[in-house]
Structure 1
Amino acid sequence: MRLKSLAIVAALALTTALAGCSTDGVSRMFSNDYGGRVDAGYQLPTIPISKVPRQFHRQIVRYETNEAPGTVIVDTGPKFLYLVQPDGKAMRYGIGVGREGFEWQGTSRVAAKREWPVWTPPSAMIKRQPELAKWAGGMPGGPKNALGARALYLYNKGGDTGYRLHGTPEWNSIGKAMSSGCIRLMNQDIIDLYNRVDVGAKVIVQ
């Protein structure tokens, strides 16, 4: 009987692992939520999530902070974005951050949200990368757009910071420092974050 019970426990554990979602009372993984889908008429490709380090998969974690639920905290060192939730928890997402020379810190708020946004490269970026000049008037939204499926626009007391929380088709850039300062998430993750974050939400980048 004991061997049979152990076999059942092992089978249940294997089923949970294959589902890509585990619960241990502290964290919950959402590794099974990166499949392809149609979103606003666009085909969102499947992310080969097994190739993304596990710590960067979306998950609920313990997170102690004095910030109110709904606050977004970006920790650029370990490359995590936390959406604060009640009861000492947060939804954690893996992110890509600014490369050397493009890092930044500060507090801002979400002033606007856009689905499949138009991307207009700044003039300074076009100067560094002349091939982007063709998009000076704006690159239409779509699966190849640099802002991905969603964008949250960050403003502070001085107005538009120029920085965004946005999606990216380059899933293999998550966990790396290679952007021009914006905080990028996998497209399936930015859609999830977009649906949870309100306009006006506080955003802390540290």
Structure 2
Amino acid sequence: MNRRTMMTALAALACGASPALALSETATRPAATPVALAPAPQEWPIARRYYPTEVNVRPDLRVGSIIIVSEKFFLYHIIAPGKAMRYGVAVGKNELKFRGKAVVGRKVEWPSWRPTPEMIERNPAAYKKYEDGMPGGPTNPLGARALYLYQNGRDTAIRIHGTTEPASIGHAVSNGCVRMVNDHVIALFNAVPIGTEVTVY
């Protein structure tokens, strides 16, 4: 993305538009009919707009890629020319929001978790006890699946992952990572390969 394109995208975001998608996104089915995933949607403690929904998007977006629009709390997986699966997400709070391009460099089922030194420094009461790591499982904050984002072959420490706090979807609450309902991240995990391009606005 060149500087002019990036500046245009950021200007669109400042105006409340989704920079990559805004003027062309339309639901391909009624909002009241989200794509079926288990468990039943009423068991997801999230607003209906964050249910998985197939939407129309700009046809020039790369098929297979993932686009995250942080200000709208939406993740788009481009599944065909002009088509995307849209999921609700939680994103980083305040200055911790990640922005830029990356690729999925690693995929893990029931990932283990270790807080970064920066997280421990910001909140030792919450994270110091986990400095040696926490094994994967239902109580692990990374949830059921994690997609590890890399730049230039290096781990960014940013993940797209599940959560033990699904009610956080639609909010800026994380330490920079992108959270999804466990059912939703499992669906995404199964659909995308290593090397998938990810753009976060």
Q: What TM-score comes out, normalization by structure 2 length?
A: 0.80
Does 2:73 correspond to 1:79? Answer: yes
Cα contact 2:62–2:81 (8 A) shared by 1: no
**Identity of counterpart residues, as a percentage?**
40
Cα contact 2:93–2:174 (8 A) shared by 1: yes
Q: Give 2:138's aligned residue.
A: 143
Q: Give 2:175's aligned residue.
A: 180
Q: CA distance change for structure 1 residues 32 and 88 in 2, over 3 Å: closer, same or farther? A: closer
Cα contact 1:111–1:200 (8 A) shared by 2: yes
How far off is 1:34 after superposition?
4.1
Q: How does 1:76-155 map to 2 (within 5 A)?
A: 76-131=70-125, 132-155=127-150
Q: Give 1:163's aligned residue.
A: 158
Q: What TM-score comes out, normalization by structure 1 length?
A: 0.78
How far off is 1:48 after superposition?
2.7
CA deviation vs aligned residue, 1:140-169 (integer Å, no higher than 9, x gap): 111111100000000012611110000001
Q: Name structure 1 gaps, 5 residues minimum.
A: 1-24, 37-45
How far apart in 2 are the matches of 1:136 and 1:182? 18
How far apart in 2 are the matches of 1:126 and 1:138? 12
How far off is 1:130 after superposition?
1.7
Structure ID, larger Rg = 1
Secondary structure at the counterpart of residue 175 of structure 1: coil
How far off is 1:96 after superposition?
0.2
How far off is 1:128 after superposition?
2.0
Equivalent residue in structure 2 for 1:26, among 22, 25, 28? 28
The runs of 4+ residues in structure 1 deviating greater than 2 Å are 27-34, 46-49
Cα contact 1:47–1:171 (8 A) shared by 2: no
- What letter corresponds to residue 104 of structure 1 in structure 2? F
How far off is 1:135 after superposition?
1.5
How far off is 1:97 after superposition?
0.5
Cα contact 1:71–1:83 (8 A) shared by 2: yes
Cα contact 2:98–2:176 (8 A) shared by 1: yes
Secondary structure at the counterpart of residue 66 of structure 1: coil
- The total of aligned residue pairs comes to 173
Q: Name structure 2 gaps, 5 residues minimum.
A: 1-26
How far off is 1:59 after superposition?
1.1
Equivalent residue in structure 2 for 1:194, among 189, 195, 198? 189
Equivalent residue in structure 1 for 2:39, among 35, 40, 44? 35
How far apart in 1 are the matches of 2:171 and 2:38? 19
Does 2:56 correspond to 1:59? Answer: no
CA deviation vs aligned residue, 1:70-91 (integer Å, no higher than 9, x gap): 1000011111000001131100
C-alpha root-mean-square deviation of aligned residues, in Å? Answer: 2.1
Cα contact 1:109–1:200 (8 A) shared by 2: yes
Cα contact 2:53–2:85 (8 A) shared by 1: yes
How far apart in 1 are the matches of 2:95 and 2:38? 31
